[in-house]
Structure 1
């Protein structure tokens, strides 16, 4: 929640309380549909559409707007539209320097320079002789081999870049290549590669080497097969070693190699060898929690079993409602995976000592349990998902209108709003059904938790009764320190996301407790340090705002964990810090891979310095 920072704290509390009350009193039908440009001092209701900064937003919570509550600043209130009008209409730049790097009688290898885009390039498409796209590459890959061509034939290629909104660049400069003639009368396959051996392992890779094959014309390369499946890696002629990457930690893999020649003949498979990657769970008792998303949003696809060993807890996102937000019927379907393969991946991660949870809701999965029927449907269908996939627990990532306090619901210790009391009961029932080792986590937005100090009503503080009622079984609470406006802290100052001050101030509110709605007789009690993590975007692309550089995150953690000040504005109430503070959460594992594991590598190394 963003508040005008120059006002006295008492005035802020009174102002926000008035705004919240006004939001609950005004009829939901007072306004509707397209509201034009967003404006402050305006009543908005669920279903309204407002524009700001060239983008359109859907109202997620009825509220009275104030200066500083612009849609991109308060995503608890507004959700950027993905339909019409599209938020991104700018095409990427034209790919430069298209050229060929190799050719055979039936293939041409191409490379080109990178394109740029106002949001981000998601891939490239290669066109042959001006026709439809013949081949494509994923984001970041600026090379591809076009296969299935005719021998001794000239082909003309162009490349276009595309972004997540479907915009395509203009075509690159055309490049022509003539395939080689097919080697005459070559039906002889290369000899079998000899002496395949492992030359080294890491937690995510295996290096292999083998003896060279011979051929009556010439060996053009080798293909490496993993666990008997399709080719996982290849080498050019003359190279008799390769490092296979993207493997899971502490896992045994079986490898074979085949040689190939220019005529497409392949040798028989080499000897088979097995190698086990290193790494179990990270040392120390600080943890990394990561959300693995079950959809493609332009980041990257990653199989569950291939998640970095640096993550201790994996949140599978998301289980979503079917049959309407209020039905209580929850479902989950693995993306680009069979149910059997996904279950096997969950089991593999669990065998490595990691915890795999199913996360509920997310930004688009509105869930509200307004009556006993929806509550029972929720318990039944969630238990079915837990039993099917073997999840170790579940995560409440409820956003938008999933949780909102009704008018007159003023005591977080005794909630009267049905969708809140039903959620508490359903969660408690699932916890009891699955035993004491079953994990419960929550990932609320700041408005729903820390925002409850300045005002309590509607979305503000709506998670507090859920956290309070379940604190005895709550394993981890990792509030999203992103996609938020400024939030008032214990010192009465408003702090902005992406700063060390913000992370320290928001965390200490949960470690010390705070007055709900500014009422010192209604104190939200402190949680244990081992229950608290900070939620962060793993990359600038992962969230609308809130990305914090690793160096600034570590400044915040040094202060929180051991009281080592970085000289910021916020001053810890507990000057010695909180050594039991548990760690970090990120959205998301997929975006972390997209940025070459900046988040997991830097923060795992930092957290491992603590016992």
Structure 2
């Protein structure tokens, strides 16, 4: 981050993408050796026999290029069609399976759905040669068939797949279950608070004997799993607002009923707006206050008026585990035009008098913080408070990256975390909130890897141990949701990520921002069958680079504004349609950074300020 020029997250994208590829966004289970491949026509030697391909795919068996034998599958995505080819395979309940295939193309995906446990998928980009993909899963207690599939991605050319293997015990040869459960009935919506509604319905029946899960749709979006329960709490709602809900039932074979009739409920008046006094639509920007990186230093008084929240980058630790945080203005040797401290503080007061909020941001690329002990927690609270008090700041932004937040392997419930660095950070934030009261502004800027991948990858921890890293912000976000002013996830420096549509989305497009933000507004499933509850609309913004040289995943002004329109108004949507419905309370945008925006002739702030102000 300190080199010139450099993006906000100097963490290289390729290793992150490799992590995503390695985990496919899902946990791998222990493999077991089996005797036979139970896929019909696995090498496409008999054309497409046994396979069903989407109508627009132009799917065919080709003689070149092949991985083995004399034929391979070739299909081409067209428009919104991903060129999916799939096969239903009879399997045994409570059994282990390994799915693999050799694939070739720009982006090629392999997966299995209807497993009865955790559906799996993975992908590769190998345009010039075949690459092997593999995923392991176990079937549920009543699962007798699964659907395996391969597909490509929007705008890609033809892909090839060959030698598909499903290694595991064959099913009993009986008919594959294709009959969905009955439609749930008796839906009621009540128990209103300012931000939630309680849903209850009567159980469905299924010819296989049980319903695997119910899916709740809010405002005619797509469903969020409620598990096997016949009740669900829809949270993260806006006060004094009417919401419509529908419910459908799905069995272990992946068959889902139609949605039942929509039933509406209205939230109560009130509702929190932690650290409020912000405008309805906000622009959040990071100010390079303590360092230079080629984009130029900006004096506090010279920060343009378009910015509503100014995050001072960065307060950094004196050591990784001490909890001691220090902030200094950029040294004169790095920033020749840096103002005296008295002028810096006076500039902060001028911004605050104009209604702006100025926060200290903790972390960044070089600011790794691990609150491993109670002593570190207490030192963190004391040192952060000293910075806030010295400069008269409005609050705190948490920008922990790398190994600052990690989850021990056994810490699998975001609602009840046990990992010390997580527990101590939550405690520290609650202490700071209590100290400064209702006006305290608390924001967070996690990377997508630590939110939207949600508890789905075990990777190396800071001490070489096997720690769970993906989704490590989720316990903190959940614990602080009543006190959190804004969550603006960094929608950049990221690999492709699966959205609520079970499809991969790639940064730099409006669909990526819509899909990632929709997960926060609608709630999303995490490993172990839990669902991360949605946040309130006024708590959610999304982050992106201010210019092409400020970070990987730069998105043009037009594409960003399409995403804002889709989320806030339900217009200008692309292929992805928000499952959360229309979100008129969407708060705004965050960028790295104010300095890079000025370097880029204010393209970000001036265009997006006008667009946000034009919204109802």
Question: How many Å separate the matches in 2 of 1:438 and 1:530?
Answer: 16
Asked if the contact 1:453/1:515 (under 8 Å) is kept, the reply is no
Aligned to 1:181: none
Show the 5 A alignment for 1:309-320: 309-320=305-316
Q: Tell me, what secondary structure is at the counterpart of 2:407?
A: coil
Q: Normalized against structure 2, the TM-score is what?
A: 0.53
Q: Tell me, what secondary structure is at the counterpart of 1:369?
A: coil
Aligned to 1:458: 468
Q: Tell me, what secondary structure is at the counterpart of 2:512?
A: helix
- Deviation, structure 1 residue 305: 1.1
- Deviation, structure 1 residue 598: 0.2
- Deviation, structure 1 residue 3: 7.9
Asked if the contact 2:491/2:544 (under 8 Å) is kept, the reply is yes
- Deviation, structure 1 residue 17: 6.7
Q: Normalized against structure 1, the TM-score is what?
A: 0.54
User: Using a 3 Å threshold, how does the CA distance of structure 1 residues 14 and 311 change in structure 2: closer, same or farther?
Assistant: closer
Q: Tell me, what secondary structure is at the counterpart of 1:608?
A: helix
Question: How many Å separate the matches in 1 of 2:343 and 2:569?
Answer: 43
Q: Is 2:586 the counterpart of 1:590?
A: no
- Deviation, structure 1 residue 16: 5.1
Deviations, residues 286-330 of structure 1 (Å, cap 9, x unaligned): 1100000121100111101100100001000100001x1101110
Q: Tell me, what secondary structure is at the counterpart of 2:398?
A: strand
Question: How many Å separate the matches in 1 of 2:341 and 2:561?
Answer: 39
Q: Tell me, what secondary structure is at the counterpart of 2:283?
A: strand
Deviations, residues 188-243 of structure 1 (Å, cap 9, x unaligned): xxxxxxxxxxxxxxxxxxxxxxxxxxxxxxxxxxxxxxxxxxxxxxxxxxxxxxxx
Gaps of 5+ in 1: 20-64, 70-281
Aligned to 2:518: 508
Asked if the contact 1:356/1:391 (under 8 Å) is kept, the reply is yes
Q: Tell me, what secondary structure is at the counterpart of 2:438?
A: coil
- Deviation, structure 1 residue 366: 0.3
Question: How many Å separate the matches in 1 of 2:586 and 2:545?
Answer: 19
Asked if the contact 2:371/2:377 (under 8 Å) is kept, the reply is yes
Aligned to 2:360: 358
Aligned to 2:393: 391
User: Using a 3 Å threshold, how does the CA distance of structure 1 residues 373 and 328 change in structure 2: closer, same or farther?
Assistant: same
Asked if the contact 1:292/1:314 (under 8 Å) is kept, the reply is yes
Question: How many Å separate the matches in 1 of 2:468 and 2:350?
Answer: 42
Of 586, 607, 610 in structure 2, the residue corresponding to residue 581 of structure 1 is: 586
Aligned to 1:183: none
Aligned to 1:380: 382
Q: Tell me, what secondary structure is at the counterpart of 1:482?
A: coil
Show the 5 A alignment for 1:171-250: none
Range with bigger deviation, 328-337 or 451-460: 451-460
Deviations, residues 101-134 of structure 1 (Å, cap 9, x unaligned): xxxxxxxxxxxxxxxxxxxxxxxxxxxxxxxxxx
Q: Is 2:550 the counterpart of 1:548?
A: no
Question: How many Å separate the matches in 2 of 1:530 and 1:510?
Answer: 11
- Deviation, structure 1 residue 283: 11
Of 529, 536, 539 in structure 1, the residue corresponding to residue 537 of structure 2 is: 529
User: Using a 3 Å threshold, how does the CA distance of structure 1 residues 18 and 471 change in structure 2: closer, same or farther?
Assistant: farther
- Deviation, structure 1 residue 570: 1.4
Aligned to 1:467: 477
- Deviation, structure 1 residue 67: 5.5
Asked if the contact 1:3/1:487 (under 8 Å) is kept, the reply is no
Question: How many Å separate the matches in 2 of 1:374 and 1:533?
Answer: 30
Of 288, 297, 301 in structure 2, the residue corresponding to residue 301 of structure 1 is: 297
Aligned to 1:561: 568
Of 280, 291, 301 in structure 2, the residue corresponding to residue 285 of structure 1 is: 280
Q: Tell me, what secondary structure is at the counterpart of 1:450?
A: coil
Q: Which has the larger radius of gyration?
A: 1
Aligned to 1:606: 611
Gaps of 5+ in 2: 1-15, 32-121, 127-276, 331-337, 459-466
Q: Tell me, what secondary structure is at the counterpart of 2:363?
A: strand
User: Using a 3 Å threshold, how does the CA distance of structure 1 residues 68 and 452 change in structure 2: closer, same or farther?
Assistant: farther
Aligned to 1:344: 346
- Deviation, structure 1 residue 419: 0.5
Q: Which 4+ runs in 1 deviate beyond 3 A?
A: 1-7, 11-19, 65-69, 453-457
Q: Tell me, what secondary structure is at the counterpart of 1:316?
A: strand
- Deviation, structure 1 residue 571: 2.0
Q: Tell me, what secondary structure is at the counterpart of 2:345?
A: helix
User: Using a 3 Å threshold, how does the CA distance of structure 1 residues 4 and 318 change in structure 2: closer, same or farther?
Assistant: closer
Aligned to 1:334: 329
Asked if the contact 1:283/1:608 (under 8 Å) is kept, the reply is no
- Deviation, structure 1 residue 569: 2.4
User: Using a 3 Å threshold, how does the CA distance of structure 1 residues 401 and 6 change in structure 2: closer, same or farther?
Assistant: closer
Deviations, residues 159-205 of structure 1 (Å, cap 9, x unaligned): xxxxxxxxxxxxxxxxxxxxxxxxxxxxxxxxxxxxxxxxxxxxxxx
Of 445, 448, 454 in structure 2, the residue corresponding to residue 446 of structure 1 is: 448
Q: Tell me, what secondary structure is at the counterpart of 1:467?
A: helix
Q: Tell me, what secondary structure is at the counterpart of 2:453?
A: helix
Q: Tell me, what secondary structure is at the counterpart of 1:452?
A: coil
- Deviation, structure 1 residue 18: 7.1
- Deviation, structure 1 residue 339: 2.5
Asked if the contact 2:20/2:495 (under 8 Å) is kept, the reply is no
Q: Is 2:407 the counterpart of 1:405?
A: yes
Show the 5 A alignment for 1:414-425: 414-425=416-427
Q: Tell me, what secondary structure is at the counterpart of 1:569?
A: coil
- Deviation, structure 1 residue 455: 4.2
Aligned to 1:255: none
Question: How many Å separate the matches in 1 of 2:356 and 2:592?
Answer: 18
Asked if the contact 1:284/1:608 (under 8 Å) is kept, the reply is no
Question: How many Å separate the matches in 2 of 1:359 and 1:14?
Answer: 31
Asked if the contact 1:490/1:509 (under 8 Å) is kept, the reply is yes
Question: How many Å separate the matches in 2 of 1:453 and 1:401?
Answer: 15
Asked if the contact 1:5/1:493 (under 8 Å) is kept, the reply is no
Of 322, 325, 328 in structure 1, the residue corresponding to residue 320 of structure 2 is: 325
Matched residue count: 345
